[in-house]
Amino acid sequence: MTTVLICDDRRSVREGLTRVMSAVPGVHRIDCVAHGDELLARFSRQPVDVVLVGTQRAVPTGVEATRRLVAAHPQANVIVFGAPDDAGSIAAAIAGGARGYLRWDASRPELVAALAHTLASTAVPTPRAPTDSGVQLTERELQVLRGMSQGKSNGQIGRELYLSEDTVKTHARRLFRKLGVRDRAQAVAHGFRRGLVS
């Protein structure tokens, strides 16, 4: 059974996400806090399986809360959620230790997949430097990476590029291998650092 802690300074967001998460199979307990200080104190007293941290464009509180929590508790499984086109917050949160991200409008299947993926990662991911610093991605791989950076699912990327979901997964595996990363979060963080996406 999964325990979840939600951190966002907007009450409506906390209540809305609690309603959605309470319908996700396997979620046992959901708690909420409004600020980073509360998040640190609550997690220190009672660690949870997954922490969901809200981000807002040009507002550093969510990113800073993520950074502080992971610095104090490297084992924390943090997923940030926010606007799909807020690339800056997504990149900063992942660089600060978040394991992944979700769009505000993520569906229940996407939430379930994100929780399963996060809980399956037993160690904090550390991006490996590719052996070739001049890694060349194909145009299609770059398109897939850009879609990931916008928080889109493989299905959404496929529909936009007129590709099957399996083909998108194949391109994703290839770009993971080229970049020397293990998952979407690492690929997106690497892409922002290298200027492959913006």
Residue 124 token pair: 């904090």
At 99-111, the pLDDT tens digits run 878 877 777 677 7
Give per-residue pLDDT as tens, 112-159: 777 766 666 543 333 333 334 467 888 888 889 888 887 788 889 989
Show the beta-strand stretches assigned E in the chain: 2-7, 27-33, 50-54, 78-82, 100-103
Where b means 16+ CB within 10 Å and e means fewer, 128-165 reads eeeeeeebebeebbbbbbbbbbbbbbbebbbeeeebee
The answer to whether 173 and 130 are in contact (CB under 8 A) is no
For the stretch 164-192, pLDDT in tens is 888 899 989 998 888 888 888 778 777 77
